[in-house]
Amino acid sequence: TRSIDVAVVAGDGIGPEVTAEGLKVLDAVLAGSGTTVRTTPFDLGAARWHRTGETLPDADLEAIRGHDAILLGAVGDPGVPSGVLERGLLLKLRFALDHYVNLRPSRLFPGVATPLAAPGEVDFVVVREGTEGPYVGNGGAIRVGTPHEVANEVSVNTAFGVERVVRDAFARATARPRKQLTLVHKHNVLVHAGHLWRRTVEAVGADFPDVTVDYVHVDAAMIYLVTNPSRFDVIVTDNLFGDIVTDLAAAITGGIGLAASGNVNPDRTTPSMFEPVHGSAPDIAGQGKADPTAAVLSVALMLEHLGLADEARRIETAVAADLAARGTAVRSTAEVGDALAAAV
Ligand code: NAD
Ligand code: IPM
Ligand code: MN
């Protein structure tokens, strides 16, 4: 029998609530499968910060590194200054573990309510760069708090970083039936980074002659996501555009409670990390209201990454059936998790 070792960072707000359901479904799907799972919880997030002032000490990072994968709930808390946990814990994990592919699939499952009147078939995946862009913290401010304050957040785009994520996106596009790749950027204004992305897509595209390449400015992409989302198959984009695009992508495919993601290191030199696209949702935390489906689908992405494709499919099938049967019934976080665990 094979054993998988999963580090669990449940985090803040609804993070622990949805993660508990993800783990329930993970246990259920692996029961009797010949694969066993060992989970190790890490006490990281707001509570740890309040107690010790720490966000992600080296000892925890090194311990996490030794696992096969990481499941994360959500981080961020109204009682902690904004950015402390987001940068000091979540982004530190993504950067330290070189999660350069932030994989965010968007699929409108049958029977799911969408705000779009005529959505058509929606099934695309956003390959969001995960280690560069304005997220790297290259910036600073002077004369803070004065009328002469200057605040800079510099977007860092390296040929190396752009090439590797673009190549990954092409590889995903070529493996999909429609074989279509859309670069989303803003090269009409961000001429330095934009043209690096454009040239890279052109160059890497030569190695993938069966993939059709398209380009859409990010503002227009917001239009098409609402008016014609079927035009997208694989979207490749930078870290910040990808963050924004994928919240809208979630909203049109049934809501943020359904959107799963993987922070992937395709070279497999470090454990990849799987988490819902949503945050800690302080507005509904502690009420048992959060939809754990995104966390459960993130478990499926993790299993797929670990080579357990059958188990991943069983989770997706259970989620699809649950979504189709949902209607307008209001269920608690645990009720949804129990139903999915029973169905896999
Ligand atoms: P959010 O995703 O937490 O919440 C946005 C809205 O979606 C809220 O109305 C919330 O109630 C709702 N929502 C989120 N998840 C839901 C679920 N599973 N079921 C039902 N409704 C759900 O985003 P926010 O309010 O902008 O941020 C809150 C905190 O989370 C901040 O501290 C932010 O930095 C952090 N955050 C963390 C992550 C992460 O850990 N990956 C992602 C986004 C935001
Ligand atoms: C996400 C979140 C994070 C991001 C924040 C909390 C750092 O919004 O995972 O989408 O911007 O990547
Ligand atoms: Mn986000």
User: Exposed e or buried b for every residue in 256-292, given b needs 16+ CB within 10 A?
Assistant: bbbbbbbbbbbeeebbbbbbbbbbbbeebbeeebbbb
**Domains of the chain, residue spans:** 1-98+260-344, 114-253
pLDDT digit of tens for each residue in the chain (344 aa)? 899 999 999 999 999 999 999 999 999 999 999 999 999 999 999 999 999 999 999 999 999 999 999 999 999 999 999 999 999 999 999 999 999 999 999 999 999 999 998 999 999 999 999 999 999 999 999 999 999 999 999 999 999 999 999 999 999 999 999 999 999 999 999 999 999 999 999 999 999 999 999 999 999 999 999 999 999 999 999 999 999 999 999 999 999 999 999 999 999 999 999 999 999 999 999 999 999 999 999 999 999 999 999 999 999 999 999 999 998 889 999 999 999 999 99
What's the 68 CA to ligand 2 centre distance in angstroms?
23
Neighbours of 66 (CB within 10 A): 10
> The tokens of 336 are what?
């949804």
Rounded distance between C-alpha atoms, residue 223 and residue 228, angstroms = 8
Per-residue model confidence (pLDDT) at position 329 = 86
Q: Indicate which residue's Cα is closest to atom 1 of ligand 2.
A: 277
Question: Are the folds of 1-98+260-344 and 114-253 the same?
Answer: yes
Q: Per CATH, the architecture of 1-98+260-344 is what?
A: 3-Layer(aba) Sandwich (3.40)
Domain 114-253 = CATH 3.40.718.10: yes
What's the 244 CA to ligand 3 centre distance in angstroms?
6
> Contact 169/127 with Cβ under 8 angstroms?
yes
Q: pTM score, two decimals?
A: 0.98
β-strand pairing of 180-185 with 212-217: parallel
Q: In degrees, to the nearest 5, what angle opens at C-alpha 98 toward C-alphas 211 and 47?
A: 130
106 belongs to an annotated ligand binding site? no
> Contact 143/150 with Cβ under 8 angstroms?
yes
Per-residue model confidence (pLDDT) at position 328 = 83
Neighbours of 150 (CB within 10 A): 10
Rounded distance between C-alpha atoms, residue 274 and residue 42, angstroms = 15
Per-residue model confidence (pLDDT) at position 240 = 98
- Tell me which of 18, 70, 80, 91 to substitute to probe ligand 2's pocket, judged by most ligand atoms within 8 Å of the beta carbon: 91
Per-residue model confidence (pLDDT) at position 1 = 82
Q: Is 201 helix (H, G, I), strand (E, B) or coil?
A: helix
What's the 281 CA to ligand 2 centre distance in angstroms?
13
- Which H/E stretch holds residue 35? strand 35-41
132: Cα within 13 Å, side-chain hemisphere = 19
